Structure 1
């Protein structure tokens, strides 16, 4: 069946498959189908050059497609990973982004627990005994609780 479809459509079959994968990438973004679609288009371009050759069987075309898909996926992942730097690396890890900030205690730390206000949120803090109004520096954040020490 594959051989029949390939022989009827010729090199255009690979272009159609590639465009379908690129269209699916638009509908279901994830950057993975992009590389498979590009591999199919490259096999289509090679098919235009080699269509009449005896060695360009459908089995070889499928093998070239599989290898190119893997190569493009690996190279594409490296390219996108290298460009995935963010100017706000703690954007989705809000609590961890608080480490190093200083604040003023709203409630004194008694028995190891107190409260501090940062931006628009009140946080539970733990640390040494300190009065309300003392300046503290956040040294660790874990499970929504901040560990503080006196700010210098």
Structure 2
């Protein structure tokens, strides 16, 4: 036991900083968020080791402080910050150009015939069909209700 005590006794704040950085780099590789909290606990323990009075900052006090901090932060991370573990979902219209047109206002370019025609949204002309089989005249404001393939399904405003 005497040899182990001599090995651990010179435990300093720099040891905890190194442990925290090692744990943080492993966390970056695996991405579980569990080691993140333990790395933060090691960083807090480094601060504790640097400022604690001599009676509390021996290696046993540092290990007890680290165990309490790591346990507390791990529980906090699993409960309060549980949302961090969920993967961020894809934006609903990312790379879905047609879906982004729903709800936009446009202008009829030419008179519709048989419920079909052309509509201008922004600087782009689109094939369109009306949802109610009406035939709006050129210049009429319309709103995009839905899409079908590359065809806008519109209704007059």
TM-score, normalized by length of structure 2? Answer: 0.51
Larger Rg belongs to: 2
1:68-116 Cα deviation digits (max 9, x unpaired): 15535865687xxxxxxxxxx9985765554443221235545554332
1:35-87 Cα deviation digits (max 9, x unpaired): 545443123223443432645437x7356325415535865687xxxxxxxxx
User: Quick check: 1:43–1:65 contact (8 Å CA) kept in 2?
Assistant: no
Number of the residue aligned with 1:102: 105
Number of the residue aligned with 1:118: 121
Aligned length: 135
Is the alpha carbon distance of 1:65 and 1:129 closer, same or farther for their aligned partners in structure 2, counting shifts above 3 Å? same
User: Quick check: 1:101–1:137 contact (8 Å CA) kept in 2?
Assistant: yes
- Counterparts of 1:97 and 1:54, CA distance in 2: 60
Q: For 1:61, which of 52, 60, 66 is the aligned residue?
A: 66
User: Quick check: 2:144–2:152 contact (8 Å CA) kept in 1?
Assistant: yes
Number of the residue aligned with 1:146: 152
Once the two structures are TM-superposed, the CA of residue 149 in structure 1 deviates from its matched residue by: 0.8
Q: For 1:136, which of 133, 137, 142 is the aligned residue?
A: 142
- Counterparts of 1:56 and 1:146, CA distance in 2: 66
Is the alpha carbon distance of 1:43 and 1:24 closer, same or farther for their aligned partners in structure 2, counting shifts above 3 Å? same
* 3-state SS of 2:45 partner: helix
User: Quick check: 1:105–1:136 contact (8 Å CA) kept in 2?
Assistant: yes
Segments of structure 2 that go 5 or more residues without pairing to the other structure are 84-90
* 3-state SS of 2:69 partner: helix
Segments of structure 1 that go 5 or more residues without pairing to the other structure are 79-88
Is the alpha carbon distance of 1:56 and 1:99 closer, same or farther for their aligned partners in structure 2, counting shifts above 3 Å? same
* 3-state SS of 1:136 partner: strand
Number of the residue aligned with 1:51: 57
- Counterparts of 2:62 and 2:40, CA distance in 1: 19
